Amino acid sequence: MATMHDVARLAQVSVSTVSYVLTGTRPISQATRNKVLAAMAQLEYQPNAMARGLASRRSRILGLLMPMDERGLGATETAFVTGAAAAASVAGYHLVLSPVGGGDLDDLRRLASQRMLDGVVLMEVQLADERVTVLQEAGVPLVLIGRTGDTSTLSYVDIDFDQTVREAVAHLVGLGHRRIVYVNHSAATLASGYGPALRTRDAFTAAMTGHGLEPVMIAAEDSAAGGRAALAAAFAQAPELTAVLAMNETAIFGILGELTGRGLSVPDDVSVVSMVTSPQVAELATPALTAMTSPGSALGRIAIEALTRHLDGPADLRHQQLLPCTLEIRGSTAQPRSRHPLGADQ
């Protein structure tokens, strides 16, 4: 492994000159630069990241902290990661993903305090999230995906749930649906303060009320069985429902199965819209699901851009931004059966 010393000796310049060629922090004549570059090439020189990091006090590594639960990463999260990695690369940083589990706050504290990471993007933020506190105390620059309850002091990027729900509801209402049930995450998830679940709940209530309709929400476990149970509950609460809006990517397969099981057809008897869903998952279902597609890759890019601006720029500016999901109409929504063809009230 060649070091800077070797390069300097071969190019007959001082070590610092080699460093300046590499970092561009001071002007270097073209002739010298060429000599140094040639020496580097000849020796296949690669700078040692540790030494660089120690001397400059920055690693040029960004961390993406993602809780890995057993559900896995959907296409949405993957798009997010690739978008983030690309943006980091453009800014001259490496991105590493760290699968931090839920419990190990100490582990997180260690990771953050060891100065290995110049900055961090934190995914799946809860309304009250201890991890944010730990990271802030450790003084690590931070961008959130999602929002804590108190959004005032931090940078974040998040989905505009309000807008997303409003658009989904508008699509269904526009088709003529009046009885729309919202299938959310589980009651436990709601109670734990999971932002997306709470925000969509409120947005749904607001959107339906805005249309003069009654909001009905069902909490469903994150499983196919949970979806089946939720649909049963939905029919119990609103027997005349004609549309289901679902936030729960796992439960939705149970909902579809149960619908078919009851001899109801999608979309002729019941329309289904899936929220915050990737095209890949939407296409798995038969019929393919009309869905609100999440802006995964843009979300990742924006988060990293905000973080690097935070690091390279001098200011401690905040970046707070919401991105809506976009409606993609596929085969699972249609006008309700002819009873209300033009959206007349029942």
Q: Which residues bind to a copy of itself, rule: CB under 8 A?
A: 1, 46-51, 53-54, 59, 61, 63, 68-79, 81-82, 85, 89, 94-99, 101, 107, 110-111, 113-116, 223-225, 250, 253-254, 256-257, 260-261, 278, 280, 283-286, 288
Does position 344 bind DNA by CB under 7 A?
Answer: no
Burial 260-277 (b: 16+ CB within 10 A, else e): eeeeeebbeebbbbbbbb
User: Would you count residue 37 as binding DNA (CB under 7 A)?
Assistant: no
**At its nearest, how many Å lie between a copy of itself and the CB of residue 45?**
9
Work out how close the CB of 119 gets to DNA at its nearest, in angstroms, rounded to a whole number: 17
Per-residue HEC secondary structure of 235-246 comes to HHHCCCCCEEEE
- Shortest Cβ 312–DNA spacing (Å): 12
Residues 4-33 that bind DNA (CB under 7 A): 4-5, 12-20, 22-23, 25-29, 31-33
**Contact 215/205 with Cβ under 8 angstroms?**
yes
CA distances from 31 to 5, 12, 54 (A): 19, 12, 30
- In sequence order, the β-bridge partners of residue 271 are 243
State whether residue 320 is helix, strand or coil: strand
By beta-carbon proximity to DNA, the closer residue of 7 and 229 is 7
Residue listed under structure tokens 């009230």? 345
CB 229, min distance to DNA, A:
54
What is the nearest approach in angstroms of a copy of itself to the Cβ of residue 214?
30
Binding partner of residue 168 among a copy of itself, DNA, none, CB under 5 to 8 Å per kind? none
Closest CA to 127 of 221, 201, 210, 215: 201
> Residues 41 to 80: which contact DNA by CB under 7 A?
45-48, 51-52, 54-57
With CB cut-offs between 5 and 8 Å by kind, which of DNA, a copy of itself, none does residue 261 bind? a copy of itself
Give the length of the chain. 346
* CA 240 – CA 243 distance, rounded (Å): 9
